[in-house]
Amino acid sequence: MNFFALIPFMISAISGFCLLGLVLPCRHPKDFPCHAVLSAGLGLGISAFLTWTCFLLLQQFHKTYLISCHVVLLLALLYFYNKKPRTLPGLDKKTALDTALAAVLLAITLTAAWHFGQFYPLGGWDAWQVWNIKAKFLFLGGGHWRNMLQPSLWQTSPHYPLLLPLINVWGWTFQESASPVTPFLTAIIFTGLTAFLPWAILYSWGARRGVPLLPALLLLTHPFFITLGTSQYADILFAFYLLASLFCLLKSLDHEHAGYGILASLFLGMLSFSKPEGTLLALQAFASTVIMQMILPKTAGQNTAAPRPPWGAWIAIFCLALIPTIIFNVFYSPGNQTFINGLSSSSHPASLFRVKMILAFLTVELKSPKWNGIWIFILSGLLLQAPKCFQGKWLLIPVVLLIYLSSVLSYYFLNTYFKIDWWLQVSLHRILFTLLPTCLFWVFGPLCSSRPRQ
Amino acid sequence: MSTEKAGGLSTQISPKIILAMKTRPRCSLKQCASALILTIACGMIAFNIRDYHRTFSQTRQKRQDVPYTFLGIQFSGLQDILTGTETIGYLTDKDLNAQQHAMQFAQAQFMLAPVILDTNFSGHEYILLDCSRPDITWAFINKFRLQPLRRNQFGVVLARNPRSVKVAF
């Protein structure tokens, strides 16, 4: 791996940090790690959107346009950042030590993940059949990149949105060829970000020293999580943007700062562009938050009423963030080539057998040895803390997850294109993988959020 | 100061100690639940590390015994001829419904991207022949009167189809 492979990621991280700083000022030293992790994800998502504009406007990959866009964005962000200077809070000794310890642990575990991933340098099956092949079409296809959307290439799932391929294309910008190192680097970065986001959030909430590290270490030492995280699939992006969105939505319910709602809208837009089910989840999560804003008691403090959320700005930004997905689905996607409506099909009808298989597989998967009992731990942790986990703002997580899971299981029932046993075998564990970081955060969050920040 | 006689000896217990013992808070249910969750999490991390090490060692051993092979590498070395070509034909005697051959085809598609491989090969200027034996490859070349252009070290042949529509015009 050479330095040129790292340049795009560094540019994205800096852009993300400046943008985050404009939207949500970092007021407390303990917020800094959380801002750093969110910045990286935000920056990479924005870079993917900018790369998408290259293909929309110029109909092919154009290195100069892409670099210019990023330079202009960075200069604009730095201009606005300096116009209204926001002094970063100085890191005190304790925060610096805690952050350094976490960084060392992250470096050790990601190094292990890197070596583990090198056993499969080109990733899993879907990495080269679905995601990286699209990145190659975008990067090398010139004006013929749209060939990848032909229905004849149905094995590549041409209806899948393009967040991951576009991030990889951006990652190749400073290189001459479509090096396999870049998709691997993307996978490692997002694995690290996803695992460390729970730590960063819980740490910013002032949790007892060591406790915030537990969900991060549970993920980074989990062999199956590392296997899927380094497989170069879009699932790890989905997991990251889901957790980031839900965290920002939870904070928006706290009425702490309007910036959280803006960030949530941006992350939901990125989530919708990662996988088809991301679009569904983004809409469900946004709608659920709006409803909960209306239902939950509106008090920001003891004697003050909560400020009215800037609905207009949130909805506008959410719609703006959905535009890349909408454009792709309306103008480019050939539609799902692997769909048969089981309710109306006589040759492939949906039946009660399918329901039984789905429920049976779900039960077996949750207690499968490959998960090392983590789902049993999560369910037990939720039961032990039942009042806290299903109270107030925390209700958002089960509401969103339940609606989403119901939709996914219904889709398994409805779409009879594939044999249900094969389909569940190859995909159910990946659905659960994308939900794992959020579920762990849901267990540890109420545990840590009741402590006042020192 | 309270005193007690035990075995004939008198002991004096400080009122402060008695007050501390009476007012020490018992572990609430919530605290017990939190402690349990944290303890189990620590135990799971230890178990994960052990499992991770075992999986890592097993996979490393497997790689040392059988190095990683990407079947699509057999199709490398042809990209320079195919520059500017959007689609080529793919001709094979292998059963593409079998998983191994389907995987090889998918990996070939990945290696040669953005060139598309079309199993309906007849109308294309270039055809990629990927057969199980060289004599079958030559039999196809003779049967369809193809012009072989290049053969790589894995026996994959890129041929030109003089009867394709593009060549005719």
Cβ atoms of A260 and A24 closer than 8 Å: yes
User: Which of the four pLDDT bands, split at 50, 70 and 90, describes residue A88?
Assistant: low
Q: How many domains does chain B have?
A: 2
Q: Clarify whether residues B93 and B44 are in a common domain.
A: no
Q: Clarify whether residues B51 and B128 are in a common domain.
A: no
Residue B5 lies in a domain: no
Residue B2 lies in a domain: no
Cβ atoms of B143 and B137 closer than 8 Å: no
Chain-chain contact of A221 with B52 (C-beta, under 8 angstroms): yes
Residue B6 lies in a domain: no
Across residues B49-69, what is the average pLDDT?
92
Residue B103 lies in a domain: yes
| A430 vs A32, higher pLDDT | A430
Residue A151 CB-half CA count within 13 A: 6
Chain-chain contact of B109 with A377 (C-beta, under 8 angstroms): no
Residue B4 lies in a domain: no
Using one digit for the tens of pLDDT, what is the confidence trace for A379-399? 999 999 888 899 888 999 999
Q: Clarify whether residues B92 and B117 are in a common domain.
A: yes
Q: Clarify whether residues B49 and B115 are in a common domain.
A: no
Long-range contacts formed by A359-362: CB under 8 A, 24+ apart:
A361/A421, A361/A424, A361/A425, A361/A428, A362/A409, A362/A428
Residue B59 lies in a domain: yes
Cβ atoms of B108 and B91 closer than 8 Å: no
d(CA A268, CA A186) in angstroms, rounded, equals 20
Beta-carbon pairs below 8 A across chains A and B: 98
In the predicted structure, residue A79 carries a pLDDT above the cut 70:
yes
Q: Clarify whether residues B164 and B85 are in a common domain.
A: yes
User: Which of the four pLDDT bands, split at 50, 70 and 90, describes residue A312?
Assistant: confident
Q: Of A119, A141, A152, which has the smallest distance from its Cβ to B63's Cβ?
A: A119
Residue B78 lies in a domain: yes
Using one digit for the tens of pLDDT, what is the confidence trace for A43-76? 999 999 999 999 999 999 999 999 999 999 999 9
Specify the pLDDT at position A3. Answer: 85
Q: Clarify whether residues B47 and B105 are in a common domain.
A: no
| Structure-block tokens of residue A290 | 């709006």
Q: Of A153, A223, A385, which has the smallest distance from its Cβ to B52's Cβ?
A: A223
Q: Of B37, B68, B113, which has the smallest distance from its Cβ to A136's Cβ?
A: B113
Beta-bridge mates of residue B59: none
H or E segment to which residue B5 belongs: strand B2-6
Per-residue b or e along A178-212, where b marks 16 or more CB atoms closer than 10 Å to that residue's CB: bbbebbbbbbbbbbbbbbbbbbbbbbbbebeeebb
Cβ atoms of A413 and A169 closer than 8 Å: no
Chain A residues with beta carbon closer than 8 angstroms to that of B42: 214
* B158: containing domain: 71-168
Chain-chain contact of A221 with B49 (C-beta, under 8 angstroms): yes
Using one digit for the tens of pLDDT, what is the confidence trace for A151-164? 888 889 999 999 99
- Burial (CB < 10 A; 0-12, 13-18, 19+), residue B79, is middle
Q: Of A153, A222, A223, which has the smallest distance from its Cβ to B116's Cβ?
A: A153
Closest residue in A to B37 (Cα) is A381
Chain A residues with beta carbon closer than 8 angstroms to that of B49: 221
Cβ atoms of A168 and A217 closer than 8 Å: no
Residues whose CB is less than 8 angstroms from the CB of residue B133 and which lie 6 or more positions away in sequence, other chains included: none
Specify the pLDDT at position B138. Answer: 93
Chain-chain contact of A119 with B59 (C-beta, under 8 angstroms): yes
Specify the pLDDT at position A454. Answer: 44
Q: Clarify whether residues B113 and B142 are in a common domain.
A: yes
Chain-chain contact of B114 with A141 (C-beta, under 8 angstroms): yes
In the predicted structure, residue A320 carries a pLDDT above the cut 90:
yes
Chosen domain end from B65, B86, B107: B65
Q: Clarify whether residues B23 and B99 are in a common domain.
A: no
Chain A residues with beta carbon closer than 8 angstroms to that of B59: 116, 119
Residue B18 lies in a domain: yes
Q: Clarify whether residues B99 and B117 are in a common domain.
A: yes
Helix (H, G, I), strand (E, B) or coil at B151: strand
Q: Clarify whether residues B81 and B52 are in a common domain.
A: no
Q: Clarify whether residues B52 and B102 are in a common domain.
A: no
Using one digit for the tens of pLDDT, what is the confidence trace for A200-254? 999 998 877 789 999 999 999 999 999 999 999 999 999 999 999 999 999 988 8
Closest residue in B to A114 (Cα) is B56
Cβ atoms of A365 and A429 closer than 8 Å: yes
Chain A residues with beta carbon closer than 8 angstroms to that of B51: 223, 372
Q: Clarify whether residues B37 and B96 are in a common domain.
A: no
Residues whose CB is less than 8 angstroms from the CB of residue A368 and which lie 6 or more positions away in sequence, other chains included: A429
Chosen domain end from B65, B90, B107: B65
